[in-house]
C-alpha cells in the first residue's frame, strides 16, 4: 500500500494545486463577468438604450466572458485548449454564415439605437416607404403608413438607404406655388399673398416667409410662397393656405390660369375656294 499512498500523494501534490487554481479562476472569473455585466447594463440604462438591446448585449458579453474563463480554467488543469478554441471558432463561423442576413439586420438595429437617426413617433421616409415610426426592434423597424397600414422593414434596408426624418426639427418650411395670369398686377398679387400669410396664425414671423416670382411659365406667372411653421402644424397649415390663397385670389379678381393652347388654322386661298366650290356644287 505504501507505493500507492506515495503515488496518490504525488498526484494530489501535482494536480491538487492545479484543481484549486482552476476553481479559483472559475469562481473569480464568474464574479468578474457578473460585475462587468452589471456595469454595462447600468451604463446602457443611463444612456437610455432600448431595454431589448440592454438585455441582449449584457447576456452576450456575460456568455463571452464565461467562455474565456472556462477555457482559462481548463488550460490551468493542463488540458489542450487549442482544439477546443478551434471548434468554437468553427462553430461560430458556421452560425455566422447561416445567420448572415439576420446578423446584418441586428447590426443595423444596434446602429439605429446608438446613433438614433429617428425615434418612435417621428415621421420618416426609409426603406422605400414613409410613415410614423411605431417600434424600433433589433431586427426590424415597424412603421405605420398615412393610410394606417403596418409596415415592417428589415433594419438592413433602413440603414442601407437614405433616411429622411420629417419631424426631427422643431420647425419646417411649407413650400407652395401660386400661379397667376400674365395680365395680373404682380405687386397686387404679392400684397394679397402677404395678407394671406399674415392672417394665418400658424405662420412664424421668424424665419421670415419668402414670396417671390420663380418662373414665367407657359400659361402663368408662378410665385413661390414659403412660410415657416412648427412641425406639428405643417399639414394643417399646408391645407389651410391653399384654400386661403384661392379664396383671396377670387375676392381680388386675380386669375388662376390653367394650361391652354392657341390653335391657328392657316388655309391657302385656292384650297379654300375649291373647298367652298365643292360644297356649293354638292
Domains and CATH numbers, the chain: 2-98 (1.10.287.1260), 117-165 (2.30.30.60), 171-252 (3.30.70.100)
Sign, CA torsion 129/134/138/140: negative
What is the predicted pLDDT for the residue at 272? 47
What is the predicted pLDDT for the residue at 149? 94
Q: Which residues of 81-110 are buried (b: 16+ CB within 10 A; e: fewer)?
A: beeeeeeeeeeeeeeeeeeeeeebbbebbb
Q: Cα-flanking dihedrals φ and ψ of residue 201, to 5°?
A: -65, -25
The widest CA-to-CA distance across the chain, in whole angstroms, is 148
For residue 59, what pLDDT band results from cuts at 50, 70 and 90? confident
Average pLDDT over residues 136-148: 89
- pTM for the predicted model, two decimal places: 0.60
> Which residues, listed in sequence order, are joined to residue 228 by a DSSP beta bridge?
173
What is the predicted pLDDT for the residue at 278? 45
Per the CB < 8 A criterion, the answer to whether 281 and 233 are in contact is no
Which position has the higher pLDDT, 271 or 217? 217
User: What is the percentage of the chain residues whose pLDDT exceeds 90?
Assistant: 42
> Residue 98 pLDDT more than 60?
no
Which position has the higher pLDDT, 34 or 58? 34
For residue 178, what pLDDT band results from cuts at 50, 70 and 90? very high
Per the CB < 8 A criterion, the answer to whether 209 and 197 are in contact is yes
Amino acid at each position: 500500500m505504501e507505493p500507492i499512498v506515495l503515488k496518490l500523494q504525488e498526484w494530489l501534490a501535482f494536480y491538487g494545486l492545479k484543481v484549486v487554481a482552476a476553481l479559483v479562476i472559475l469562481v473569480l472569473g464568474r464574479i468578474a463577468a457578473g460585475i462587468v455585466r452589471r456595469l454595462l447594463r447600468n451604463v446602457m440604462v443611463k444612456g437610455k438604450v432600448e431595454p431589448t438591446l440592454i438585455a441582449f448585449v449584457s447576456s452576450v458579453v456575460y456568455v463571452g466572458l464565461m467562455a474565456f474563463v472556462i477555457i482559462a480554467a481548463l488550460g490551468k488543469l493542463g488540458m489542450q485548449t487549442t482544439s477546443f478554441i478551434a471548434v468554437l471558432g468553427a462553430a461560430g463561423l458556421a452560425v455566422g454564415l447561416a445567420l448572415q442576413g439576420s446578423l446584418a439586420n441586428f447590426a443595423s438595429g444596434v446602429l439605429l439605437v446608438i446613433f438614433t437617426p429617428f425615434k418612435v413617433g417621428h415621421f420618416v421616409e426609409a426603406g422605400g416607404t414613409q410613415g410614423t415610426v411605431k417600434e424600433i426592434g433589433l431586427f426590424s423597424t415597424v412603421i405605420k403608413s398615412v393610410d394606417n397600414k403596418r409596415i415592417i422593414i428589415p433594419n438592413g434596408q433602413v440603414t442601407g438607404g437614405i433616411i429622411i426624418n420629417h419631424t426631427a426639427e422643431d420647425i419646417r418650411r411649407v413650400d407652395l406655388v401660386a400661379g397667376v395670369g400674365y395680365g395680373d398686377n404682380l405687386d397686387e398679387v404679392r400684397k394679397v399673398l402677404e395678407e394671406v400669410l399674415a392672417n394665418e396664425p400658424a405662420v412664424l414671423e421668424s424665419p421670415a416667409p419668402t414670396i417671390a416670382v420663380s418662373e414665367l411659365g407657359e400659361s402663368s406667372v408662378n410665385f413661390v410662397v414659403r412660410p415657416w411653421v412648427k412641425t406639428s402644424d405643417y399639414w394643417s397649415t399646408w391645407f389651410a393656405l391653399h384654400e386661403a390663397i384661392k379664396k383671396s385670389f377670387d375676392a381680388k379678381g386675380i386669375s388662376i390660369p390653367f394650361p391652354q393652347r392657341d390653335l391657328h388654322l392657316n388655309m391657302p386661298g385656292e384650297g379654300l375656294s375649291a373647298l367652298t366650290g365643292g360644297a356649293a356644287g354638292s
